[in-house]
Amino acid sequence: MHLQDGVLSAPVLAGGAVLAAAGVGWGLRRLDEAAIPRTAVLAAAFFALSLVAIPLGPTSVHLVLGGLMGLVLGAHALPAVAAALVLQAALFGFGGLASLGVNTVILAGPPVLVAAVARPLVVRAAPPLAAMAAGTAAAASVALSASLMAAALRLSDVAYAPAAPLVIATNVPLMGIEAVVTASIVGFLLKARPDLLGRSAEVRP
Amino acid sequence: MRAVVVALVLAVLVVVAATPAEAHRLRVFATVESGVIEGYAFFVGGGRPEGAAVRFVRAGELVHATTTDAAGAFAWRPEETGPLTVVVDPGGGHTAEVTLGAERFGAAPAGEATPAPASQAASPDALDPKIEAAIEAAVARQIRPLLEAQAAAESRIRFNDVMGGIGMIVGLAGVGLWARTRTRARDDG
């Protein structure tokens, strides 16, 4: 899910950087004191978990927890992902600084959008249904991220067009894994900390 | 308080999970043995790309192109020796390259050794080119496992780096909280 430097064309990199800067600025403006620790914890989780590669046939995938970040953080997912990506690029050469903007848009954009759609259901539905909605949102977020990545490659160079189905195909198993992981984490949060998901404390059983 | 405990437990779990892990990232290993450049591309997290484009670039110019086999491997015998860069591109956003310096090519391969110039042959200090090539080949063969181990070790994720990254995020949160507190104190006062 991390595009490396030297793959994308300059206009795509610039476009991604502008979009990411706007998104991160928007997310930061809405970051209040209560949200900062929560954002930092999820940024740390994303930073560390997306370093854990799961071997899968000729390649490997890693968790991104986009759905969870979108549901818990909302717009704050943008600065969280951006900070974690800066550190991954600086410490591990994962992704790159030039492609930071594009990677932020690819990884943090879909969670924010998908969570905005799924949140009403996660907030109001009965816990099992809410967890399922969260899992579905996570899968949709991965699918959207993969599509954005394929689009970024396609826009950069038409020669990458054949890679698009490959990018989406390798992410199909990740959709399932993310859905299960996110649904179980949300299931736990619904019992332990429903307020993190925007549910009022009275809902607590 | 409960939130802090949950956060700490989460952080510890994440660190434990991440420690033995390796990043998903493409790397190339290449070596020169008896004038043949051979090597393979590998994803650090596991897996090797099949059918990935391999480009041999010398001084910015493409001198040879091939693709990787089922084991992600490639081999090519360049006509002329000299430093070059091997670029592997499986498409889909990952590329990796490795540069082989002039020192990696050493003497001409034994099979194609050109006859030594008369002056060199006459010198008592000069080794037979065939012996020299044999030494080059033996050394290349013996240090190959070392180079492979080093390439793998270099790309392994280190616990210290992961902890450093998490520490940076915690520090950023602290800076953010401090800045908010100052803003509020100014607004109040």
CA dihedral of B49, B54, B57, B62, whole degrees rounded to 10: -150
Indicate if the pLDDT at residue B117 is higher than 60: no
Indicate if the pLDDT at residue B41 is higher than 50: yes
Query: Which H or E run includes B97?
Result: strand B94-100
Residue A20 maps to a domain? yes
* pLDDT bucket at B123, cuts 50 / 70 / 90: low
Q: What is the pLDDT of residues B125-165, one digit of tens each?
A: 777 888 888 888 888 888 888 888 888 887 777 788 888 88
Contact B93 A153 (CB under 8 A): yes
Rounded Cα gap, residues A10 and A14, in angstroms: 6
Mean pLDDT value of segment A95-101: 85
Q: What is the pLDDT of residues A118-160, one digit of tens each?
A: 888 888 888 888 898 999 999 999 999 988 988 888 888 777 7
* pLDDT bucket at A1, cuts 50 / 70 / 90: low
The residue range of the domain holding A48 is 10-203
| Chain A neighbors of B7, CB-CB under 8 A | 37, 41
Chains A, B: CB contacts under 8 A, how many?
A: 133
Count of domains for chain A:
1
Q: What is the 3-state secondary structure of chain A? A: CCCCCCCCCHHHHHHHHHHHHHHHHHHHHCCCCCHHHHHHHHHHHHHHHCCCEEEECCEEEECCCHHHHHHHHHHHHHHHHHHHHHHHHHHHCCCCCCCHHHHHHHHHHHHHHHHHHHHHHHHHCCHHHHHHHHHHHHHHHHHHHHHHHHHHHHHHCHHHCCHHHHHHHHHHHHHHHHHHHHHHHHHHHHHHCHHHHCCCHHHCC
B25: three-class secondary structure by DSSP: coil
CATH superfamily membership of B26-157: Immunoglobulins (2.60.40.10)
| Chain A neighbors of B25, CB-CB under 8 A | 92-94
What pTM does this model have?
0.73
Residue A4 maps to a domain? no
| Chain A neighbors of B98, CB-CB under 8 A | none
Angle between the N-to-C axes of helices A10-29 and A100-124, in degrees from 0 to 180, rounded to the nearest 10:
40
- What is the predicted ipTM? 0.75
Q: Which of A1, A9, A31, A60 to mutate to test the interface with B (most CBs of B within 10 A)?
A: A60
For residue A189, what is the domain's CATH number? 1.10.1760.20
Residue A3 maps to a domain? no
